């Protein structure tokens, strides 16, 4: 079976060559904030999959307080663009913010407002 279609506006031209520099090898350890955002997603996945009953059980298993689990989990409420930015920070780039500042931004329910708060934080 063969499926053909025409992309509007393509005018039969070949796609432009995609040129990019090779990715740099990561150096050093990932920033703490990036590790915390990744941990929030991992913990959320464990609860959603049923591997653990709830966040209180995660706290018991991790030997941390339920309040700390909540602090970590709020980072998963950041706008996807902010999370992506944080996850791809290099080891030396993370000094511009603190976890507390990001938790405050994450409490804002609207992603567009989160992004503007985060941009303001970056520009300071």
- Gap between the Cα atoms of 106 and 14, Å rounded: 43
With pLDDT > 70 as the criterion, what percentage of the chain qualifies? 77
Per-residue confidence band for 19, with pLDDT thresholds at 50, 70 and 90: very low
pLDDT at 3: 67
- Is 25 or 117 the better-scoring residue by pLDDT? 117
- Per-residue pLDDT tens over the stretch 90-106: 877 777 889 999 999 99
């Amino acid at each position: 079976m063969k499926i053909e279609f025409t992309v509007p506006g393509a005018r039969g031209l070949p796609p432009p060559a995609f040129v990019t520099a090779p990715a740099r090898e990561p150096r050093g350890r990932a920033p703490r904030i990036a590790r915390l955002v990744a941990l929030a997603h991992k913990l959320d996945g464990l609860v959603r999959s049923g591997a653990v009953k709830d966040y209180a059980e995660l706290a018991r298993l991790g030997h941390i307080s339920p309040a700390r689990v909540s602090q970590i989990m709020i980072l998963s409420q950041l706008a996807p663009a902010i999370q992506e930015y944080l996850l791809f920070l290099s080891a030396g780039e993370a000094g511009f913010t603190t976890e507390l500042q990001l938790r405050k931004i994450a409490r804002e329910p609207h992603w567009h407002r989160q992004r503007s708060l985060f941009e303001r934080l970056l520009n300071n």
